[in-house]
């Protein structure tokens, strides 16, 4: 059974671990220096950092479960701007990740739909996100879900930039 829940502070450790594992699975192979990967994971997915994020009133986390096992999550950030987005009432889908073993279940679609519904409840009119230019599976997923390419930016990992596409969608 698939279940999605809004994460709370009690989910901090689960989110930190999911974040670390899913980011390493989805992005780690793109980064040549594995020390850079480790440093990025330690800085961005520690329990301390996750606790800070989940305590921020502009950041919302959603965990997806398969048979009561947490297998993915999404992070939505409100009141964050991007030069490619004209809306003043937008949100960034900063993260949406599913553990590799569960991607064939196509539950990422359910999680995205849930997050879009949450953004509409918050009366946000635009959702935007970034995706690495070599992440073809994600690019296809966002295009299939009517996100439009509106620009680019560099995602920096330990001083090295990785070219990302900025996608946007009207809610």
Residue 59's SS3 state is strand
Pairing between β-strand 160-170 and β-strand 148-157 as defined by DSSP bridges: antiparallel
- Per residue in 64-97, pLDDT (tens digit) is 999 999 999 999 999 888 999 999 899 999 999 9
pTM, two decimal places: 0.94
What's the half-sphere exposure (Cβ side, CA atoms, 13 Å) at 7?
29
Which DSSP category does 11 fall into?
G
Average pLDDT, the chain: 96
Cβ neighbours of 135 (radius 10 Å): 17
3-state secondary structure of 80: coil
CATH classification of the domain holding 40: 3.40.630.30
Q: Are 163 and 154 in contact (CB under 8 A)?
A: yes
**43 in any annotated domain:** yes
CA 59 to chain centre: 11
Specify the pLDDT at position 81: 86
Tell me the two tokens of residue 107: 């539950």
What is the tally of structural domains in the chain?
1
Domain-located, residue 45 = yes
> Given pLDDT bands bounded at 50, 70 and 90, which one contains residue 132?
very high
The residue segments making up the domain with residue 35 are 2-130
**Residue 81: inside a domain:** yes
In a domain, 164, yes or no: no
41/25 Cα distance (integer angstroms): 11
What integer pLDDT is reported at residue 159 of this predicted model? 87
Would you say residue 109 lies in a domain?
yes
* Rg of the chain taking only CA atoms, in angstroms: 15
């Amino acid at each position: 059974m698939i279940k999605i829940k809004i994460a709370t502070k009690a989910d901090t450790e689960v989110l930190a671990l999911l974040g670390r594992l899913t980011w390493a699975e989805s992005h780690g192979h793109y980064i040549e220096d594995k020390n850079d990967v480790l440093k990025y994971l330690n800085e961005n997915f520690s329990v301390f950092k996750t606790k800070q994020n989940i305590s921020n009133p502009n950041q919302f986390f959603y965990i997806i479960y398969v048979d009561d096992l947490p297998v993915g999550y999404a992070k939505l950030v409100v009141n964050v701007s991007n030069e490619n987005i004209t809306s003043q009432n937008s949100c960034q889908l900063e993260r949406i990740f599913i553990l590799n073993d569960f991607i064939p279940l196509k539950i990422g679609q359910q999680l995205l739909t849930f997050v879009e519904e949450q953004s509409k409840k918050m009366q946000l009119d635009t959702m935007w996100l970034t995706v690495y230019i070599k992440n073809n599976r994600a690019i296809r997923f966002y295009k299939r879900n009517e996100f439009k390419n509106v620009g680019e930016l560099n995602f920096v990992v330990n001083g090295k930039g990785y070219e990302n596409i900025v996608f946007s969608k009207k809610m």
